[in-house]
Every structure is written in C-alpha cells, then in structure tokens.
Amino acid sequence: MTVYEETVGVEDIIVYKDVHKWFGNFHVLRGITTTIKRGEVVVVFGPSGSGKSTFIRTINRLEEHQRGDITVDGIAMTNDTRNIDTIRRDVGMVFQSFNLFPHLNVMSNITLAPTKVRKIPAKQAEMLAMELLERVGIPEQADKFPAELSGGQQQRVAIARALAMQPKIMLFDEPTSALDPEMIKEVLDVMHELASSGMTMIVITHEMGFAREVADRMMMFDEGIIVEDGPPAQIFDAPQEERTKLFLSQIL
C-alpha cells in the first residue's frame, strides 16, 4: 500500500486516502484519493454506475468502505458508532427522491432531528426551522404535509431539514433530477445562495450551468476512480482527459 505523508491541514475538511468499496464482487470505488477544503463547492459528475453516488454516501457512512482511510472534519471514519454519529450530525444530505417523512408535517420534518439528536428545546428548534424555511423561500408551508407540496418545494424542505442540524458539510445526490423542468431553478437558486454563504458542498449534478457558475472544483468519475479533477474553466474549456471530453460532448 502507498504511504501518505502529507499532514492534514485544518482547512482540509474531508480527506480520502485510497478508498475502496465492493458491492459483492463488483468493485465500485477503486482507490479514491482526494482532499476537500473547508468552504469548497465540489461538483461531481460522470456516467451512471461510475461510483459518484457511492462516493458521497461513504462520506456519512450510508455506505461502508472496505479499504483505505476516510477522515471527516478531523474524525476518522471507523466502525466506532460514536465517530459515525458525530460525523452524521455534522454532514447534511439531500437526496434525489427528497425522502421527506410523509407522516410528519413540514415543521416536524425539520425539527425532529435537532430536538431528538441535538436536544435543542422545541421552541428554539421551531424558531430555527422558520428561519430556514424563510431562507429557502417557503415559510407559508410550515403546517402542510410533504404530499401537499410540489417537488421543488419538497426538495427545498429537504434542504432546510438538513440545514437544521447546522452541518459543516452538505451533500447533494442529484437534487434536481427528479424535478419537473420549471422547478429545477428554484432548488438551484437555494443551493447557489448556500454556496455563497461559505458552506462546504459536494454536489452530484449534471446541471452544467450551475456547475460552471458555482463550483470551485469539478470531479469527473468513471469506473470507480476520479478521472479528472480541476476548476470548471479547465473541465469545460480545456479538459485533459479523453473520457471527460467524450462524456461532456454527450451531455452538453
């Protein structure tokens, strides 16, 4: 195995060292080594089955990696459940299919985790939730149930729910792919605002306009490795790898 000698700086919030993952015999992640800095906005893209989704799901242990080291905000990702719990509290996640809790109204969806996990008093949690709903632009929907909202509104509630835990990192797993075209913009606008507030974000998306405008870095995934990693200017205007060129030519 390779020995890594670099010291981890405080500005490095996520550090991956030769991370591997298998689903049965299928080698999904084939040695991911990368470092993400505090406040960076990283857009991850690539063909389906390339391991990009598995990659961001290993950051909060929705998927377990089987080889290599992951460090999130200075905490080593081990089998120690206390470490996993701490990391999950600090990492928010937004899913393609929203995954709001259908039996709870919008307010309870947002306040559940802060009151149960962070033990914030209910009143305070509700005030925070209202602030967040205003930030994502739907304070008037607080008493509705998820099924009564449009897809775009549901995804904005999901973002507010993740933000309510006051995370240091936000993960977005194709947040706009399940949305009708006219609702994509309202979600991207919220994400844009979040990025400019200095949040560390890792976003899987094929919204290349958003990527060019907001991303600090872009990572092209293919066959379980990071094929190319660089600023949007490089990826769009001077891609170094044939596979990046080919993939971009197919989706743009």
Residue 219, strand partner residues:
44, 229
Using CB under 8 A as the binding rule, whether residue 58 contacts another protein is answered as no
Residue 26, strand partner residues:
23
Site string for another protein, 7-46 (x = CB under 8 A): ----------------------------------------
Using CB under 8 A as the binding rule, whether residue 60 contacts another protein is answered as yes
Using CB under 8 A as the binding rule, whether residue 102 contacts another protein is answered as yes
Output 7 or 81, the one with its CB closest to another protein: 81
| 3-class SS of residue 164 | coil
**Sign of torsion over alpha carbons 235, 239, 243, 249:** positive
Minimal distance, residue 94 CB to another protein, in Å: 9
Stretch of 10-18, 92-100, 178-186, 220-228 lying at the interface with another protein (CB under 8 A) = 92-100
Site string for another protein, 103-142 (x = CB under 8 A): x--------xx--xx-------------------------
Contact pick of 33, 34, 130, 145 for another protein (by CB under 8 A) = 145
| 3-class SS of residue 69 | strand
Output 100 or 226, the one with its CB closest to another protein: 100
Output 93 or 190, the one with its CB closest to another protein: 93
**Sign of torsion over alpha carbons 56, 60, 61, 66:** positive
Using CB under 8 A as the binding rule, whether residue 177 contacts another protein is answered as no
Cβ within 8 Å of residue 227, ≥6 positions away: 46, 220, 221, 241, 243, 244
Contact pick of 101, 127, 193, 196 for another protein (by CB under 8 A) = 101
The torsion of the CA quartet 97, 206, 234, 5, rounded to 10 degrees, works out to 30
Cβ within 8 Å of residue 240, ≥6 positions away: 228, 230, 234
Total residues binding another protein (CB under 8 A): 28
Q: CB–CB of 152/113 below 8 Å?
A: no
Minimal distance, residue 228 CB to another protein, in Å: 28
| 3-class SS of residue 72 | strand
Output 173 or 222, the one with its CB closest to another protein: 173
CB-side exposure of 12: number of CA atoms within 13 Å?
14
Minimal distance, residue 151 CB to another protein, in Å: 15
Contact pick of 29, 77, 100, 215 for another protein (by CB under 8 A) = 100
Beta strands per DSSP E along 149-235: 169-173, 200-204, 217-222, 225-230
Q: Footprint of another protein on this chain (CB under 8 A)?
A: 60-62, 85, 88-89, 91-93, 95, 97, 99-103, 112-113, 116-117, 145-148, 158, 161-162, 165
